[in-house]
A and B are shown apart, each in its own frame.
Chain A
Amino acid sequence: MSHISDKYEAVIGLEVHAQLATHSKLFCGDATTFGAAPNTQVSPITLGHPGTLPKTNKKAVEYAIKMGLACNCEIEQYNYFARKNYFYPDLPKGYQVSQHTTPICKGGYVTIKTGEETRNVQLNRIHLEEDAGKSIHDIDDQFTCVDYNRAGVPLIEIVTEPDLHSADEAYQYVTEVRRLVRWLNVCDGNMEEGSLRCDANVSIRLKGETKLGTKVEVKNLNSIRNVKKAIEYEIERMIALVEAGGTVKQQTRSFDAGNDTTFAIRDKEEANDYRYFAEPDLAPFHLSDTLISGIRESLPALPVALLAKYQTELGLSEYDAAQLCAEKETAHYYNQVLQHTQLYKAAANFINGPVKQYLNENKLGFEQFTVSPTQLAALLQLVEDGKVNFSVASSRILPAMIAAPEQDALQIATDMNLLQVSDTSELEQWVNIALESMPDKVTEYKKGKKGLIGLFVGEVKKLSKGKADPKLVTTLIQEKLK
């Protein structure tokens, strides 16, 4: 298949809907909590009762601007909402309030990395709109049941240009968008609960062709893995279809996670006619330069910037830097540790290593990590000064610090009798015992098998229960066996 598929190029555009993490809805005060009992977070405005007046949630607008600035978009200063008219039971008013003509964020890009290549995926727009209610088809034989708790929850729709060319790029893109919304605290990024949803527009064309092929829209992609699988499947399906002499039909398809395939849910109907017009019930809004620059200044350092800073200013490897920037909480913690130590590399190793391991094993998030950045910095200093070794620090002292966050690292190490011994007379005793226990090896060493030094040091470490300073021990043994 690979030689045939080499003839074709896939063209993919993604629409990501992100529910904004506001407490209340976009145009009224209903709560937005996920999982509430059906129809308990509804008001006459949500239900589209006559005579009700919507009012825009300022926080939602600010969140949209935040995301736009983080994606390098131009912010539209003059905004108004439009009605998108269509009938569906999950849409109580008979129209969705959206931004048709003036998306709040225009253009922009999201930087992704696939393999060695880093590039900017071009965005078309990010606009604000309200979510629809939820239809449930499987609890009643005769009827569809509708829950309007979700109706009116603020969404941003992040729309790319047809600028992605593989399932892998799409995977990286959605991963990056999810990291960004979480980084900015504008959306919890939870795809299983539907806070972040993705539709993919996929088409293929012969390489070198500039016209876009007929596209298929794939819906219901509720995990990043499924985004990738659905696109992989679609590309293969289309290539096979075209190779067999067929043509791609414009369709809406759905992903079946049961067998990793997609199936048609509808062919392109007669052109949709949404009869957009400006929403007369909502005042337009004008975003001042002051407001926009205020939000720009409030933005946290973004992952792309931190990634570069960690490598160029702190000398971390790309891998270590990427690990720290994978989640906002980790980077935030690392930044705090940096306030208390200059051991940049050691701090990165310790956070990416034992700390993450502990958190993963206990299924905890970084925000639940009880050891303060100051404390961790102190522990790293103990290792740096040779007072304890790395393995004792990570396997013995760290758990003790987690259990008793109010105690300091040195106190714990002293109390647990874990400080490395650098008193030469005590070390000499262990060295003597170790060497006496393996006279054959000592002879071999003396005959030139210098690699055996590791064995001797290891034996001393064992005798001392990890407390012997390995550097001193090595020197001592070398002296003794000269």
Chain B
Amino acid sequence: MEITDKAFDQLAHLSRLQFTDTEKEEIKGDLQRMIAFVEKLEEVDTTGVTPLLHMSSASNVWREDAVKGSVTREDALLNAADADGQFFKVPKVIKK
């Protein structure tokens, strides 16, 4: 499978990333190699093999419905790019 400019731009958009033309060529090459790797794996006949969705064999790992583990608002906002002491602030999502 070839990584076209269209496919590249779509991926970049979905990831909300922007690249210069030089970066783009470089990353396209990387992506191409990653896909080739996966395509190699696809050569294995997996007919009748149940897809492996989880690396661990654990199942039914439950939490009881109890309130615990919250942090203070001050701590919660520590890593925010922008905040006003109450809210996380982000660029306007909708124009009114």
| A and B associate | yes
Which residues of A line the B interface, CB within 8 A? 22-24, 27-31, 37-45, 47, 49, 55-61, 80, 85-89, 135-140, 142-148, 273, 275, 278, 280, 282-286
Secondary structure type dominating chain B contacts = loop
Known contacts A39-B77, A140-B89, A145-B87; can you find 12 more A-B pairs with CB under 8 A?
A: A23-B65, A24-B66, A27-B63, A39-B73, A57-B64, A58-B65, A61-B62, A138-B96, A139-B87, A143-B90, A144-B90, A147-B87
B82: min CB distance to chain A, Å: 7
**Residue pair A24, B65 in contact (C-beta under 8 Å):** yes
Note all chain B residues with C-beta closer than 8 A to A45.
69
Q: Can you list 6 pairs linking A and B with CB atoms under 8 Å apart?
A: A38-B73, A38-B86, A40-B70, A80-B53, A80-B54, A139-B87
CA distance A55 to B60 in the complex (A): 10
**Residue pair B67, A144 in contact (C-beta under 8 Å):** no
B41 interfacial contact with A, CB 8 Å: no
A-B residue pairs, 6 tightest by C-beta: A145-B87, A59-B65, A58-B62, A278-B53, A29-B68, A29-B69
**Residue pair B89, A283 in contact (C-beta under 8 Å):** no
B91 interfacial contact with A, CB 8 Å: yes
B92 interfacial contact with A, CB 8 Å: yes
Which residues of B line the A interface, CB within 8 A? 10, 14, 16, 53-56, 58-73, 76-77, 79, 82, 84, 86-94, 96
Note all chain A residues with C-beta closer than 8 A to B92.
137, 142-144
CA distance A61 to B86 in the complex (A): 32
Note all chain A residues with C-beta closer than 8 A to B71.
42-44
Given contacts A138-B96, A143-B90, A143-B91, contact A273 B14 (CB under 8 A): yes
**Residue pair B70, A43 in contact (C-beta under 8 Å):** yes
Question: In the complex, which residue of chain B has the Cβ closest to the Cβ of A278?
Answer: B53
Question: In the complex, which residue of chain B has the Cβ closest to the Cβ of A142?
Answer: B92
Note all chain A residues with C-beta closer than 8 A to B77.
39
CA distance A148 to B76 in the complex (A): 10
Given contacts A39-B77, A137-B92, A273-B10, contact A56 B63 (CB under 8 A): yes
**Residue pair B63, A284 in contact (C-beta under 8 Å):** no
CA distance A283 to B71 in the complex (A): 25
CA distance A146 to B93 in the complex (A): 11
CA distance A41 to B71 in the complex (A): 8
CA distance A139 to B90 in the complex (A): 12
**Residue pair A144, B69 in contact (C-beta under 8 Å):** no
A64: min CB distance to chain B, Å: 13
Note all chain A residues with C-beta closer than 8 A to B94.
137, 144
